[in-house]
Structure 1
Amino acid sequence: MLDSALMAARQMFTPEFRAVLIKSLGLTLLALALGWIGLQALIDHLLTLEPGYLRSGAQVVAGLGLAFGLLFLITPVTAAVAGLFLDDVAAVVERTHYPQDPPGVAPPALRGALMSARFGALVLAINVAMLPLLFFPGVNLVAWGLVNAYLLSREYFTLAALRFRPEAEAAALRRRHRGRVFVAGLAAAALAIVPFANLLTPLFATAFFVHLHKKIAALDARRLGASAAPERLGSS
């Protein structure tokens, strides 16, 4: 698993990955900026306190809260936006490291967009539900890490697996190797904790889980017999 993480990390700043990173960061910043402008306008419209100094004070407090909220939204927004490009990332990893294998097939564009939106909404909803844990230092970090490790591992392993197998088979493969997949999710969740580095999480996680899926699928092929494998897999 460590070698898969290292291969993913080494590929992060290659020209092909940089192109995807620039596009996803640009759209993420645009989405956050539009959200800021829209919410700030709504706040200014709703705050009608008198006298003026009370209104100004309330606007400052609301602005600080809005800034904190947008920082909190960086991870789910990045995940949703980057999801539009993750099949491109997976294809680069497959082409670079597994040229002897049949290439994966991306899901239809509409399905991919819906999966991306669903994942972003799920990450946002669960992280909002966990906000009360901010009052319990230590506990909140552990809980956040475990929950996001599960979410990230499930989503990114499924993304890698769906390029080669039906959804039911991808889910069965993940369940058979749930321990290894979850540990890989912990690595992705650890990166997501680090400010600014969390913007790289979708790209790193995609590359990491493409490698992991290849290894797990090869392991299954050896255990169940080569005839059970849906694709010819390399040993690396």
Structure 2
Amino acid sequence: MGRILTAYFKAFEQLSDPKTRAVIWASIGWSVAIFVGLFIALVVLLKATTFIAIGPLEMLFDFVTLLGAPVLTWLLFPAVVTAIGALMLDKVVDAVEQRHYPHLAMAPGASLAESIGPAIKFLGVTVGLNLLIVPLFVVVPLWPFIPFIYLALNGYLLSREYFELVALRRLSVADANLMRLRWRTPLFFAGAGFAFMLTVPILNLIAPILATAATVHLFEAWRAKDNLSDKPSPSRGSGDVVVPPVNTPPTQT
């Protein structure tokens, strides 16, 4: 837990970095737009769908949907904002690496298939699984457990998504998967923290940046322990020699 808390602390420090500020404003703008758009889309979808043909009951259902739309928005917001935010968070990774890991060579990067494919899959799986939580709200005895179920589910999903966002820039898919499995327990607890931040008003606007920065620190610490070097850069010719960066423990600031 000490390493996770240190990663969180450094992530908050990263907010003062000039290179991160532009991404902060973009993240806030996208987060607000996604939250409002998701809420409006859910209200329109629920009101346009006729579940009960009887007039008075349909009016009652419409009223209930207006109350339930914020709940659905709250449930789906982490998945949507993370999937879309993944397209611009590379800049955060670069800023963290330049500030804390200047010894690293330029990341080979992830291919389009490695980045877009998992993001689409993540969005579909996360939205689907979070929708499965919705029926629990009608079971009153389960209400005290819903926050824990939500954090556990999204802790796993978000930790995996942010880890892949960072790891696939420098590791092959096979190495990234093996590394994620080796460190799955602390990664899960870090992800639960990400999920919690995405439910806190105001904080959730910059939570993707904090989660990305924290994951970079965790990834580099674990990669040094596993002695994993960068994958070959696809931009190099077959005759070029790729010199991997020296894996040294993360700098302490």
TM over 0.5: yes
| Correspondence for 1:19 | 22
Could you tell me which residue of structure 2 aligns to residue 175 of structure 1?
Answer: 181
**Matching residue of 2:136:** 133
Aligned to 1:83: 86
* Counterpart residue type for residue 235 of structure 1: P
Q: Report the Cα offset of residue 34 of structure 1.
A: 4.3
What are the residue-to-residue correspondences of 1:17-56 with 2, within 5 Å?
A: 17-37=20-40, 40=43
Q: TM-score, normalised by structure 2?
A: 0.75
Deviation at 1:213, TM superposition (A): 0.8
Match for residue 10 of structure 2 among 7, 27, 31: 7
Counterpart amino acid of residue 7 in structure 2? S
Cα gap change, 1:194 to 1:81, in 2 (>3 Å): same
Q: Answer yes or no: is the 8 Å Cα contact 2:78–2:195 preserved in 1.
A: no
- TM-score norm. by structure 1 comes to 0.80
Distance 1:107 1:131, change over 3 A: same
Q: Does 1:201 align with 2:207?
A: yes
Matched, 1:161 2:167: yes
Q: Distance in 2 between matches of 1:212 and 1:202?
A: 15
Gap regions ≥5 residues in structure 1:
223-228
Tell me the matched-pair count. Answer: 229
CA distance in 2 between counterparts of 1:37 and 1:126 reads: 21
> What is the CA distance between 1:68 and its match in structure 2?
3.6
- List gaps (5 residues or longer) in structure 2: 229-242
Superposed displacement of residue 115, structure 1: 2.9
- Give the distance between the partners of 1:179 and 1:65, measured in 2 at CA: 33
For residue 227 of structure 2, give the secondary structure of its aligned residue in structure 1. helix
RMSD, matched Cα: 3.0
Which structure's residues are more often helix, by fraction? 1
Residue 235 of structure 1: aligned partner: 249
Contact between 1:153 and 1:184, CA under 8 Å: does it hold in 2?
Answer: yes
Q: Residues of 2 paired with 1:186 and 1:38: CA distance?
A: 27
1:205 and 1:193 mapped to 2: Cα distance? Answer: 13
Shift of 1:87: 1.5
What is the deviation of 1:26? 2.3
Residue type at the aligned position of 1:157: F
Q: Does 1:106 align with 2:109?
A: yes
Confirm or deny: 8 A CA contact 1:133 1:139 kept in the other structure: no
Name which of structure 1's ranges 33-42 and 198-207 shifts more when overlaid on structure 2: 33-42
**In the alignment, is the contact (CA less than 8 A) between 2:27 and 2:209 conserved in 1?**
no
Q: How far does residue 123 in structure 1 lie from its aligned partner after superposition?
A: 2.0
- Higher mean displacement: 71-80 or 143-152: 71-80
Write the distance in 2 (CA, Å) between the matches of 1:42 and 1:217: 45
